[in-house]
Chains A and B, each alone.
Chain A
């Protein structure tokens, strides 16, 4: 079988790349190894309203809830509230990813892409050291798909990059390991996304509660891999839930790993582009990855069309993709990586001091940058190392 571009993985990055490339007239095949797109979920499902609306028309079928903002708790339970439009990329809508991911794949299919489920890439086809497609297995049958370009949108467990010689292996300090329960509890706040920080609660990460409609929420935890131990996310999440939401009923359980490595050295190779979690483009502070993946997917799809028109899918020919994502989403990812490296080392006392210094300030209309500026002014000693990011 032959096509112009093979896309491995039908998450938000893969589907946006497939749709974009198909709209530009390319013959696209998108492989999804699971038999059901979007399931099981590995995500807290939060996304900013305005940023999402710039990429796709919001559809009530895949919006589980809308929130007013974010409430952030320090270890001593003092808290600060940020309004929805200032809270960054992960606050606004809480999605139903099982429906959302399928809708994006459907859009790709409508644009002309061929979607194959229960179809897994087994490796790259190589000729003279240059990839020319993938070997795949669908429903037990092995076959070749020849294509001058492969887009690896194969998530945290990405193999496409490694096959092409890009080392995407995450160090334990560059992954947040997560667990999540979909819970029902009368004690839940339906109007705010909540974040709980503390070295006892979630070492090097945080606990989140993202509303999913009428006393339902994604209650989850992320722990920095280097500070985790076998099974810790599930164990710590359960103890948080028993202490804080004693009436909770668990309706679903998810686990996952989120890359927080910051921009990696290379996301392209001869005949290969990586996008989304596969390219480690998730946000190192929040762990949010949906919007970055969608944006990178579009850029990858556009690059595919340009590269094929020029007949050059070499690493050099794919450089515009590299430049474009680094100049856009990459800037924030790089900055947030530095911020994360700093934040994960703060003690509970530091976190409490930061929170208490905000209690007398009106931060309801501030974004993260504005809040950091206030924090720096009031806590120069704790935040001195961050001055170059703030001033």
Chain B
């Protein structure tokens, strides 16, 4: 599951621009992830602030 560290996020939208699944949306300062996320890790790699991470799903 993609997690967002909102204390780090600089709401720049770079992650939205690289998302191949159109699963991210930036609402002013609030980044939203939809169920369309395919966990490809493009966004975690390019996030300038290091606010995005992919957590192992334990459920």
B29–chain A nearest beta-carbon distance, Å: 8
Determine the chain A residues whose CB is within 8 A of the CB of B12 once the complex forms.
42, 156, 178, 254-257
Select which of A40, A178, A230, A259 is within 8 A of B50 by beta carbon.
A230
If A156-B17, A157-B17 touch, whether A257 touches B48 (CB-CB below 8 Å) is yes
A170, CB-defined interface residue at 8 Å: yes
In contact, B18 and A225 (Cβ under 8 angstroms): yes
Determine the chain A residues whose CB is within 8 A of the CB of B26 once the complex forms.
157
Determine the chain A residues whose CB is within 8 A of the CB of B13 once the complex forms.
42, 155-157, 256-257
Determine the chain B residues whose CB is within 8 A of the CB of A159 once the complex forms.
16, 22, 25
A-B interface contact total, Cβ < 8 Å: 101
In contact, A234 and B48 (Cβ under 8 angstroms): yes
The residue in A35, A162, A170 that gathers the most chain B C-beta atoms within 10 A of its C-beta is: A170
In contact, B14 and A177 (Cβ under 8 angstroms): yes
If A34-B28, A177-B46 touch, whether A257 touches B18 (CB-CB below 8 Å) is yes
A120 to B44, CA, bound (A): 25
Select which of B42, B45, B49 is within 8 A of A234 by beta carbon.
B49
Select which of A120, A172, A253 is within 8 A of B45 by beta carbon.
A172
A33 to B15, CA, bound (A): 17
Task: Give 1 or 0 for each of A221-238: 1 = CB within 8 Å of chain B CB.
Answer: 000010011111111000
24 A-B interface contacts by CB (under 8 A)? A33-B28, A35-B28, A40-B11, A120-B27, A157-B14, A159-B25, A162-B22, A168-B17, A170-B18, A172-B45, A177-B14, A177-B48, A178-B12, A179-B48, A225-B14, A229-B45, A230-B45, A231-B8, A234-B48, A235-B50, A255-B14, A256-B14, A257-B13, A259-B17
| Contacts from B to A (Cβ < 8 Å) | 8, 10-20, 22, 24-28, 42, 44-53
Excluding A159-B25, A231-B48, 14 further A-B contacts by CB distance (< 8 Å) are A155-B13, A156-B14, A162-B22, A170-B17, A172-B45, A177-B47, A178-B48, A228-B46, A230-B50, A231-B47, A232-B50, A256-B48, A257-B13, A257-B18
| Contacts from A to B (Cβ < 8 Å) | 33-35, 40, 42, 118, 120, 155-159, 162, 168-172, 175, 177-179, 225, 228-235, 253-257, 259
